[in-house]
Structure formats: C-alpha cells, structure tokens
Amino acid sequence: MDKPLVKIEKVGQTFNTKSGKFTALRDIDLDIREGEVVSLIGHSGCGKSTLLNLIAGLTLPSTGVLLCEGREIPGPGPERAVVFQNHSLLPWMTCFENVMLGVEQVFGRKEGRLKLKARVDAALAMVHMDHASGKYPHEISGGMKQRIGIARAFAMEPRILLMDEPFGALDALTRAALQDELNGVLGSAAVRPHRDDDQRSGRHHRRDREGRAAAPA
Amino acid sequence: MSALALKLVEAPAKAEPAPKQPVAVATERPVTIDACPQRGIPGGQSPSEQAVTPPVREGLGEGGPRNDRFRDLAKVIIPPLFGIALMLGIWALVAIKSGNIPGPDKTWAAALKLFADPFYQNGPNDQGIGWNVLSSLKRVGIGFGFAAAIGIPMGFLLGRFVFMSRMFEPIISLLRPVSPLAWLPIGLLVFQKADPAATWTIFICSIWPMILNTAQGVQRVPQDYLNVARVLGLSEAKVMTRILFPAVLPYMLTGIRLSIGTAWLVIVAAEMLTGGVGIGFWVWDEWNNLKVEHIVIAIFVIGIVGLVLETLLLLLAKRFTYESR
C-alpha cells in the first residue's frame, strides 16, 4: 500500500468571475492511500468542494495534475463515486431505480438482471432503506434521501468515495446517526469536506492551509 | 375558559345550528372545542361569564363537520353559479334590446334540436355539428402532430447547443409574432388544396411554443442531475432517455398545452377562410344562412372543446410533474 490511490500534485484552480480572476486553490498536494479516510477541513469558501470536484473529475484543474491509480483524471467516472450534498436523487425514479441506474452502468455488461437486483437490494439494506425501495424521493425524508445517495455511491463499488458535506443539509440528530452508520460501512477510501461537528468519523484530518487554499489573486 | 365550556353545554339545547355568520363560526369553532374538554362547571354561571361569551359561538352544535363540508362545497359552487347567472342575464338583456340576437331560451331550443342528431350527413356541405367539431379536431391533431414531431427535437437541439439557439433565435423572433393566418395563402399555394392549407396554419402556430418551451426545459435541467449522469458515466443515449427527457417533460407538456390552445383559436379562423367541413366553416355557413342562434351555440361548443382539451392536458401535466425536493 505504498502507492497512493489518489495523488494530487501542485493543483491550482482559478475561476473567471466578473470581478476578475479568483484563485480558489493554489499548490495543493495530497496523497490518499487505499483504505484511508480523509477529511478536508476549513472555513466556508476555502476551496474544499472545489478540490472534491477536481478529484471527482467534474472540473479540471487550472494547473497541476490529479492522478488516480497512476493515471490522470480525465473526467468523472464511476470508480470515484460522489455523494452530493443535496442528495441529487432523480425524482422520477424510485429509490431502487436510482441505485440501479449506477449499478447497471458499472456491472450491466457482465452480470445478469438478478445479480444486479441483488446488488441494489444489498446496497439499500446496508443503509437500512430496503423498506423504501419502491418509494419515490419526494415520499421519504431528507435523511432517508441521503442514505439512498450513499447506497447509490456504494453500490457502484467505487475505488474512492467522495462526499461533499453529505449530511450538511440534515439536522444534528439525523446527522449523528448517519455518521455512526457511515463509520460502520466505510471500507474504501473516502474524502469528504466537513464542518467541525462532522469531523469525528475521519481518521485523518488535513487542514487546507488558508493562505494557499483560498487566496484571492 | 369556563365561559366557553358553558356555551358548549348549552349548545345542544339550542336546536339546529343554521348559523347566519358562516365565516365567524368557521374560525371560532376550533378555539371553542380546544378550550373546553368537558369541564362541567356545575354552578359557575355568573352573569359576567355569560356576558363575555360572544354570541357567535352559538352556532356550535353536533352537525358541525357536516355543515363544514356543505359550506366548503357551497363556496366552490355558488360563485360560479352567480357568474353563469350574470352572463345569462346580460345575454338575455342584450337579446331583448337588440332584437337580432337570440336569447338564451331560443338558443337552448335550437341547441336541443341541433344535438338531437349531431352526426347526420347530407352531402359535404351539410353535416352535423359533431362531424364539424371532429374534423376541426382532426386538423388540429395533424397540424399539431407535425409541429411536435419537428418542434420537440428542435427544442432539444436549441436547448443543448448555444450555437443552435443563437442561430435560430433571429428566425424564431421574426416569425413568431406573425399571425398564422398570414401563412394560409402560402399553404394554399404549396398544397393546392384547402384542407392541408388549414392544417399548415395549425402547424405554424403550434411549432413556436413547442420549440421554445422544450428548449427552455432543456436549459433548466438542474446541473445536479447532469453531474449525477457524469459521475455514473451514463451514455449519451441514457442521459437522453433517463435524465433529460423526464426532466424536460413538464416543460414539453406546457408547450403542448400552449400549442393546442393556440391551434384551437386559429382553426376557427382558418376554416372560415378555407371552407369545407369544420366548426369554423360551420359558423360562417350559419352566418350566411342567418341562423344566429347556431353561431351562439358554436361559440359555446368551441369554448367547451377548448376547455376540455386544456383540462385533459393539465391532468396529463400533473401526472408527469415531479416534486423535486
């Protein structure tokens, strides 16, 4: 386990805004090894989500490189699953179908219908949502939606799980319960930016140094 | 508190509620019920307490919930009835004053006769009103069908590619305000026949709302959904069928509703010009026959058909609107 799963080298990100260039990230270096849980901590607006989006491949860096298993990250892919802050379930699909959408994409070529279904059911059971598999997202609570989002990400068996304040939109009680649950199921490496009260499940905390992470140019 | 309870005890004695201040009673009742959980108040009926009790609460009685339902129903039904009565009154008044315009009674009699056999056929120019409505609907259907077949894919292209939307924007902006009837001569010229020419005007008037609403829907697909699609690594085809299409569907249905609404407006005018069979032509024909009551009936029929179309499409839209949060 010497080689890092994700290697971030001298990554910088600038955005063009109306008031000129804005540097969100500068000279970020970070290695994430297999099995590691990394929390990104920093004040609001310091670039946590920006870094996460870069690892996810949703955006590409202005400078520097991001490597996943030795290859440059060209764009998003199912091996880097994302749990979005606002769950982002598709409202026209049931919970089952939402999870299935990802499973189908990753395993659909190799496996039969029954096997895929078993995978979805297992993922839903893992987050204790098997009872709601036929429900639509608007029929379940915010915490339940987030569980489905986590199930969707886990079901794809990603190499790394990226969570952008996954419980940020939830109340404190639900958040604590989900944190504990998440600790129970975490296997693969995960990166997630967190607010202070979310830190406790991260085994490694790394703080974006303010000067580097969020200095307006 | 005790004063309220006191009234509750009294209320059943005061037979049928039949309150004359419906609004006040409706708002006061919950308070009363909450405030007095059967606290008997054996002897505490001091005069002051009675004086405090607002007289409105006397409406409280056993028939409460049922009365509520009647009242709700009445609130929904009575105002429209007043509206219809007002319309009929004005109509009758105008009919009496003018002398030419048939009043409600005369029109009703004519309608009974007309709808006794709506589907007769005496040659191409004398058919029942049912056939006329159906052939108008058929034109609207065909014209709209072509408009949807072209307009929806166009809308997707315009919504997805900025270049396309910039390219077509001047054309659409220029042509959209033109009355579709202005296109009728072009249709006559190209198709050499009245019927396809009328359908052509329907096509023209239907296509703009279809394109614009679909394009807007595509542009408004939440970035979150597209991010999900990217992270899951969905193919273009899957993005189209599983994400874009369902997300755009409500906008498309709005486009369809606007299109059909306009088409139903336009078909009457188009048929007046082209002739043949159709409700618009029928109106003009009855004008030539000077059967004014039939024209009034036609106005109602056109209105009712439009209302039905609109309602059906609204129901359809409701079925496919998703609560996103």
Per-residue pLDDT band at B323 (split at 50, 70, 90): low
Three-state SS for chain B is CHHHHHHHHHHHHCCCCCCCCHHHHHHHHHHHHHHCCCCCCCCCCCHHHHHHCCHHHHHCCCCHHHHHHHHHHHHHHHHHHHHHHHHHHHHHHHHHHHCCCCCHHHHHHHHHHHHHCCCCECCCCCECHHHHHHHHHHHHHHHHHHHHHHHHHHHHHHHHCHHHHHHHHHHHHHHCCCCHHHHHHHHHHHHCCHHHHHHHHHHHHHHHHHHHHHHHHHHCCCHHHHHHHHHHCCCHHHHHHHHHHHHHHHHHHHHHHHHHHHHHHHHHHHHHHHCCCCHHHHHHHHHHCCCHHHHHHHHHHHHHHHHHHHHHHHHHHHHCCCCCC
DSSP H helical ranges for A4-126: 48-56, 95-107, 113-126
**Is B243's Cβ below 8 Å from some Cβ in A?**
yes
pLDDT at A146: 86
Out of B230, B233, B246, the one facing A92 most closely (by C-beta) is B246
**Which of A17-21, A165-169, B90-94 is the least confident region?**
A165-169
Taking residues A96-120, what's their average pLDDT?
A: 90
Taking residues B74-79, what's their average pLDDT?
A: 89
Report domain extents, chain B: 2-62, 129-319
Per-residue pLDDT band at B233 (split at 50, 70, 90): confident
Taking residues B185-205, what's their average pLDDT?
A: 92
Per-residue pLDDT band at B45 (split at 50, 70, 90): very low
pLDDT tens by residue, B242-295: 888 889 998 999 999 999 999 999 999 999 998 888 899 999 988 998 888 899
On the question of pLDDT at B11 being above 50, the answer is no
pLDDT tens by residue, A33-85: 877 778 888 787 788 888 888 999 988 898 888 888 888 888 888 888 888 87
CB contact under 8 A, A80 and B246: no
Alpha-carbon distance B165 to nearest alpha carbon in chain A (angstroms): 24
- Closest chain A CA to residue B319: A92
Please state, in angstroms and as integers, the Cα–Cα distance from residue B184 to each residue in A73, B46, B180, B189, B198, following that order.
57, 84, 7, 9, 7
**Is B245's Cβ below 8 Å from some Cβ in A?**
no
CB contact under 8 A, B323 and A91: yes
Per-residue pLDDT band at B64 (split at 50, 70, 90): low
The residue type at A108: G
Q: What is the pTM of this model?
A: 0.69
From the list A83, A53, A195, the residue with the least C-alpha distance to A147 is: A83
Alpha-carbon distance B157 to nearest alpha carbon in chain A (angstroms): 23
**Is A120's Cβ below 8 Å from some Cβ in B?**
no
Q: Which CATH number fits domain B129-319: 1.20.1250.20, 1.10.3720.10, 3.90.1200.10, 3.20.20.450?
A: 1.10.3720.10
pLDDT tens by residue, B115-132: 888 888 777 777 888 889
Half-sphere exposure of B321 (CA within 13 A, CB side): 10
CB contact under 8 A, B231 and A92: no
pLDDT at B240: 85
CB contact under 8 A, A84 and B325: no
Q: Which of A33-47, A119-133, B39-53 has the highest mean pLDDT?
A: A119-133
Q: What are phi and psi of A11, to 5 degrees?
A: -85, 135
Alpha-carbon distance A84 to nearest alpha carbon in chain B (angstroms): 8
pLDDT tens by residue, B84-108: 999 999 999 999 998 888 888 889 9
Mode of pairing for the β-strands spanning A37-41 and A204-207? parallel
